Amino acid sequence: MVNVLVIGSGGREHALSWKLSQSSKVDKVFTAPGNGGTENNILIDINDLNALVEFAQKNNCFTIVGPEAPLAAGIVDKFTQMNLKIFGPSQKAAQLESSKIWAKNFMKRNGIQTAKFEIFDDPKKAEEYAKSLDYNVVVKADGLASGKGVIVCNNADEAIAAINTILVKKTFGDAGNRIIVEERIDGIEASYIALCDGMIAIPMASSQDHKRIFDDDKGPNTGGMGAYSPTPVIDDVLAEKIQNKIINKTIQSLKNEGIIFKGFLYAGVMIRDNEPYVLEYNARMGDPECQPITMRMDFDLYDYFVASVDGTLSMMPKITWKDQSAVCIVLASEGYPESYPQNEEITGFDLIPKNVMVFHAGTKKQDGKILSNGGRVLGVTALGDTLASAISNAYIAAEKISWSHKYYRKDIGKKGLSYL
């Protein structure tokens, strides 16, 4: 028997810990630092790589990295040097996410479909460029900004404001030392996530995230306000196209450049005229997509993580999924993604039905109570025989949980229903 260490404190990490604890091969699942819903929390910061190495060594742990920051910092390389098994991409491979500029140049030189773009570090030049275009743009910070460094613009004035926000006001700090100004592709957005071992990539169940804070995709981007799986937006034909033109091509092109990608490869795609364009890569499982995807898993996730690290995915049996749909509604603190209150007591967990999981994110346990401790607080995730019933089950459960400044979108999954 082996112990597992899951690094991170969000809803994704709670979902992964929950799923891994069901494996007959796993003795104990630790989470560092975890949250109010995870068990066996280890109070080590996700960026304290030495302390994490030491803990994994002492406790015979197979380690799984949830968030992007430790991947960008090279945690996988460090663990590998110490002969410790760890699931996730190397620092070089994680550049797909840690530098949007690196990723865009990579796509350009390897012929992977993405929007037209230019790169700037001078705000004046960026403004002149934005003014010269006859189409709308998206302005992106180069580095990691917790899913918030992307500003979608409806006109040149908004583009200039976005350029100033990132390059002049430094809203995202050093992550915004350089920016991308790219063509805004309007279409249908979806998440495509694959499990990779450096040689092959196995697709996970399809999903769709809801990034904006308000209903009908209004307001600023967030880390994600809800997700559902599977999505009818990606049919079998489109899935094959994304798998071949984007995922397989990415893995092969990285290999050609001497980079072996192991872990979750996430392509955020925009579909226009039935063609997929890469909006962004993530070098890890999405959050909140992870929550409905893990709810639908009908296989031992631990086995596939081990195969990814060992490079033996091609020898594994075909993965299977529950026929049901799953929907995750993110309950946030009012005011997110700007400022919001914290330390408010959350109640109603005892009213949640058995077919619903409440995955914790921004929570902490104090004196036997669960308190809010972040912007995205909980992910109420429900199964249903249809997408409509999964939505209904999730919202019924979401209403049972309460705290003073609870906020959530009322339209999660609605886009999917419009396709059915």
* pLDDT by 10s per residue, the chain, length 420: 899 999 999 999 999 999 999 999 999 999 999 999 999 999 999 999 999 999 999 999 999 999 999 999 999 999 999 999 999 999 999 999 999 999 999 999 999 999 999 999 999 999 999 999 999 999 999 998 877 789 999 999 999 999 999 999 999 999 999 999 999 999 998 899 999 999 999 999 999 999 999 999 999 889 999 999 999 999 999 999 999 999 999 999 999 999 999 999 999 999 999 999 999 999 999 999 999 999 999 999 999 999 999 999 999 999 999 999 999 999 999 999 999 999 999 999 999 998 899 999 999 999 999 999 999 999 999 999 999 999 999 999 999 999 999 999 999 999 999 987
Residue at a domain's end among 134, 154, 183: 183
Contact assessment for residue 266 and residue 94, using Cβ atoms and an 8 Å cutoff: no
Q: Rounded distance, CA 134 to CA 149, Å?
A: 23
Q: Is residue 106 part of a domain?
A: no
Calculate the CA 41 to chain-centre distance.
22
| 237 and 338 belong to one structural domain | no
Q: Rounded distance, CA 21 to CA 104, Å?
A: 37
| 77 and 13 belong to one structural domain | yes
Q: Is residue 95 part of a domain?
A: no
Q: Is 174 exposed, middle or buried (0-12, 13-18, 19+ CB in 10 A)?
A: exposed
Number of neighbouring beta carbons within 10 Å of residue 117: 19
| 223 and 311 belong to one structural domain | yes
What is this structure's pTM?
Answer: 0.94
Using only the alpha carbons of the chain, give its radius of gyration: 20
Q: Is residue 320 part of a domain?
A: no
| 126 and 44 belong to one structural domain | no
Q: Is residue 204 part of a domain?
A: yes
| 381 and 262 belong to one structural domain | no
Residue at a domain's end among 315, 337, 361: 315
| Tokens encoding 264 | 């979750």
Q: Rounded distance, CA 281 to CA 98, Å?
A: 9
Domains held by the chain: number: 4
Q: Is residue 371 part of a domain?
A: yes
| 179 and 197 belong to one structural domain | no
Q: Is residue 258 part of a domain?
A: yes
Maximal CA-CA distance, the chain: 62
Q: Which domain holds residue 413?
A: 325-417
| 173 and 282 belong to one structural domain | no
| 295 and 411 belong to one structural domain | no
Give the CATH number, domain containing residue 122: 3.30.1490.20
How do beta strands 117-120 and 61-65 pair? unpaired
| 59 and 147 belong to one structural domain | no
Q: Rounded distance, CA 25 to CA 242, Å?
A: 33
Q: Is residue 107 part of a domain?
A: no
DSSP secondary-structure letter at 241? H
DSSP secondary-structure letter at 248? I
Q: Is 211 exposed, middle or buried (0-12, 13-18, 19+ CB in 10 A)?
A: buried
Give the CATH number, domain containing residue 66: 3.40.50.20
Listed residue (105, 95, 43, 104) closest to 74, CA to CA: 95
**Complete DSSP assignment for 27-87:** EEEEEEE--TT-SSB----TT-HHHHHHHHHHTTEEEEE-SHHHHHTTHHHHHHHTT--EE
Give the CATH number, domain containing residue 290: 3.30.470.20
| 293 and 194 belong to one structural domain | yes
| 218 and 264 belong to one structural domain | yes
In angstroms, what CA-CA distances link 14 with 57, 118, 167, 396? Answer: 22, 38, 35, 21
DSSP secondary-structure letter at 340? -
Q: Is residue 26 part of a domain?
A: yes
Q: Rounded distance, CA 232 to CA 115, Å?
A: 24
* Residue labelled with tokens 């694959």: 194
| 331 and 305 belong to one structural domain | no
